[in-house]
Structures are given as C-alpha cells and as structure tokens.
Amino acid sequence: MSSSGEDPLRIGLVALFVTSLVVAQVTASKLLAFSVPVSLPVAGEALILPGAALAYALTFFASDCYAELYGRRAATVVVNVGFVMNFVLLALVWSTILAPGLPGQDIDPGAFRAVLGASTAIVVASLTAYVVSQNLDVVLFHALGDATGGDYLWLRNIGSTATSQLVDTAIFIGVGFVALQGLPLPAALSLAVGQYLLKLVIALVDTPFVYAVVAFARGREQAARPSPW
C-alpha cells in the first residue's frame, strides 16, 4: 500500500484505533453484567466485564487492518504512539479534575473525579496490558502471515487477536484487580472469562469486516494504477 499520509483509509484506521483506545481508557473502571441463557464454566449465568471491553476490542480490529495494509513497522509505530497518547489523555483528564471548578454548577466535582479519574490500579493494569498485548498482536499477525505465505487472512486476524487478547485479559485482571486490589481469585476468574469471551466473539465477528476493508483498499489501489495500455 501507498505510504502517503493523505490516504483517507489510513487516517481513518488510525483515528478508529486512537478513538477506541481513548474511550477504553475512560470507561475501564465501570463493570458491566450481561445475563446469558446457559450457565458457563467459572462465569456462571452472567458475563461480568469491564466497560472498556468493546472499545478496546475495536483497537485490535483497527491494528490488524492497518498491519495487513501498511506493514508491521507502521503498525508497531501506531501501537507505541498510542501508548504515549495514553499518558497525554491522563494528563489532560487529571488537569481538568484538579483545576478549580465554578461554584454552584450542576456537575459535582467529586462525581466528576469518580467517573473520569480511574484508580491507580486500573491505570497501571490498563497500560501494562496495552503495551504487551498490542505489540504481541502485531508480531503474531505477521508471524502467521510469514508461516502461511500471506494467505488465510482470517487465521491471522483471529489467531493473533485471540492470543493477544488472552494475554491482555490475564494482565489486566491479574494486575489491576488481583495484585493491586486484592480481588479473590474466583471472582477474578469470572471477570476474566466474561471479558475474554466478549473479545473472542468480536474477533470472530469482525473478520468479515477486516476482509472488506482490505479488499476495498486493494481494489482502490488497483483502480488507481495507470493502465498498461
């Protein structure tokens, strides 16, 4: 693919990656609960997962599309720049939290801080999981590509995402909830199962969309080439 910075698709994938990453960081502290029709091992009849699970899963969709179209090095740059942008986000959020508020406004400063000021445990776990799993995703995506001669995009997408998301879940729950907050292991396992199952479903569902994005990009590139005739 062309390396032009004016490529709308390239800009769009980076924008999707960064937007999903920011939303995931802001919503990570809320826990969600979804009832399921059958009792699952460990999780039981409800999936409990962090509010960031859906948004964060979209970052893997964006990075896989980006890696396929623009290469491993470019995808690694996006992932690691995104890691730095996490600190920019935290600095901006906390500068707003700590700044003096206008007296008498409807928004309570304590509630504002409680919603946007994620706990230290969540921040440490989120950043640790991010930098490990996102870089692992890019490495696995291209390793599977080398092993298959560039074929089987579905295998590269699902295989890299499923593996890296498992690592991400283990780090995020293990560091943020068990090591730093003392969550009992059974509760942590239930939380991890719920989070990972959602991520796995998203990895399966988003595969046709990865194919669609890649086909669109390559079809557009082919159409832009001058005819040999």
Question: Which amino acid is located at 219 in the chain?
Answer: G
Mean pLDDT across the stretch 53-66?
90
Minimum mean pLDDT range among 44-53, 136-145, 147-156, 196-205: 44-53
Please say if the pLDDT value at position 17 is more than 70.
yes
* Widest Cα–Cα separation across the chain: 73
Cα 42 from Cα 217, distance rounded (Å): 42
The pairing of beta strand 44-50 with beta strand 31-40: antiparallel
Cα 12 from Cα 15, distance rounded (Å): 5
Tell me which residue of 215, 161, 148 sits closest to 1, measured CA to CA: 215
Q: Where are the domains of the chain?
A: 8-224
- Taking residue 34's Cβ as centre, other Cβ atoms within 10 Å add up to 11
Cα 61 from Cα 160, distance rounded (Å): 11
Cα 154 from Cα 203, distance rounded (Å): 10
Buried b (16+ CB within 10 A) or exposed e, 141-175: bbebbeeeeeeebeebbbbbbbbbbbebbbbbbbb
- With cut-offs at 50, 70 and 90, classify the pLDDT of residue 2: very low
Q: Is 1 helix (H, G, I), strand (E, B) or coil?
A: coil
Q: Is 177 helix (H, G, I), strand (E, B) or coil?
A: helix
**What kind and span of H or E run contains 50?**
strand 44-50
Minimum mean pLDDT range among 41-45, 89-93, 101-105, 124-128: 41-45
Q: Is 150 helix (H, G, I), strand (E, B) or coil?
A: coil
Give how far the C-alpha of residue 132 lies from the chain's centroid of Cα atoms, to the nearest Å.
Answer: 12
Q: Output 222 or 210, whichever has higher pLDDT.
A: 210
Q: In the chain, which residue ranges form alpha helices assigned H by DSSP?
A: 8-27, 53-70, 72-98, 109-116, 120-147, 153-173, 185-205, 207-224
pLDDT of res. 121: 75
Tell me which residue of 56, 69, 5 sits closest to 211, measured CA to CA: 69
Question: Which amino acid is located at 227 in the chain?
Answer: S
- Taking residue 88's Cβ as centre, other Cβ atoms within 10 Å add up to 10
